[in-house]
Structure 1
Amino acid sequence: MKRTILTLTLAAITLTSCGSKKKIAELEAKNKEIQDLLNTATVKLNNCLTEKDMLTTQVADLRKDKNELMNTMGNITTLSSKGAENLEKSLESLKEKDLKITRLQDALTRKDSVTLALVTSIKRAVGINDPDIQVNVEKGVVYISIADKLLFKSGSYEVSDRAKEILGKVAAIVKDKPDFECMVEGHTDNVPIKNPVLQDNWDLSVKRATSIVRILQKDFNIDPKRLVAAGRGEYVPLAENTSADGRARNRRTRILILPKIDQFYDMIEKEMKNQSK
């Protein structure tokens, strides 16, 4: 009998021990599941907190932008009447500037339209239709360029009799404009000069300029205060000095009649009146 009771007791203990292990395993599995859920919830919570901070910052920025916009709108409302007044003044100023620009363009167009007539008038006053005499107007300055062969012998600065005839007609133009200055420029080619009196081509160009200036002063009574003699030598050529034709073009005397800008436009106006007759 005792043996039977002992056997039943051992069986009960064994069954109880197996049930406890199974329960423990179930609890551990449940605990792991709960821990995983807790970790996931923690991650989500941290993400939510981060997003909350970002949204808080964005809300603050939006409120700041709203305040600035409201201030700007207030300023616009305050300045609207002044802005309209300033805009009207600006439009009036633009109209005035447009009118000035139009008048200036008209003046330039008129100037361009009579330049050729002015050159023709001066050349007619010179009285010689010769390709060796060039007359043009640039930036308010009248240029009369006379080829070397019409004024001097080769290598000489003595003015020829024919040159005096031409210079007399140039002098008439200069005398007709008493407030103008007259500059005489001598130009040469680059062939070295062989003359015991002259040091070089620069010397020759200066002496030719002074020879013409003296004739304008002494023979045609041009006020010497209005005359300027300048030698440019070979340093301002019109063409290459590699050919006879090029060297011939470079040997020249240029007479510049220099009016003030208002005098130049007076001269243009006078010529336009002559053209309209």
Structure 2
Amino acid sequence: MSSESENSGFEFLKKKISGERGFNCSYYKESILKRRIDSRMRRTEIDSYKDYVSLLDRSPQEYNALIDTLTVNVTEFFRNPLVFKAMEEVIIPNLLFYKKIQSRKVIRVWSAGCASGEEPYSVAILFKEFLGDEIDDYVFFVTATDIDDNILDKAREGIYTADQMKNVTKERLDNYFNEVAGKYQVKDSIKKYVKFRHHDVISGEETHYFDLILCRNLLIYLSRGVQDEIFERFLRSLNPYGYLVIGKSETLTPEAAKRFELIDLCERIYRKPP
């Protein structure tokens, strides 16, 4: 394959992934992106981008395997710390401001595709720290959903390895976790705010009146058409001025971008208009 043909094939593949899955290739260094794609091509014994594109068209399984390779999906507390910093400095203060104006004491958060639970527990810790003892003056809870019952059982147990805790400060470790045989278990004082349940974000029943929805690193596994449906669901599920946070390598569909207000492009934070 000529260098020019190889480059055009690579560019076409990037546009395909972006157009069909909403994967933001610009978030990654080109050399890293190319290396990860090439690793999947070697596994499938394909040596041209054109042929690999044809395989992706035939095999949803390979498409998802590629996305897995590109994202190097990891689960850990406070993953992408700048997102949680934005929650502390922007989202939570603004939500509480609106609650005060409305004289409402209910705060509902949805962690969609919560996997083993690090994200919803991280969110609960932030609200607990921000509100302190006043948190119990509110009806506050995080609904954490996933389609994998086994991983939900693990999330309810709330026991994690040191690797999953690398973004957790010593103060937070002391305040919110118990050490158990070299691992860390979430204390009941945080667990009580998180409710795990089985739910399919695509076809499950709709729930409403959320103030914050986090759906990070799930949408890139789905087609743009399905993403549009999910964004519409999220829009209906959010209260006015409610926030949506998606993964850093994800993008809104063009239609969804018309419906949500952009709050922070870098951290992928959006808001439902009033």
TM-score for both structures, normalised by structure 2:
0.25
Whichever structure has more helix as a proportion of its residues is 1
Query: Which structure is richer in relative contact order (CA contacts within 8 A, separation 6 or more)?
Result: 2
Whichever structure has more strand as a proportion of its residues is 2
Larger radius of gyration: 1
TM-score for both structures, normalised by structure 1:
0.25
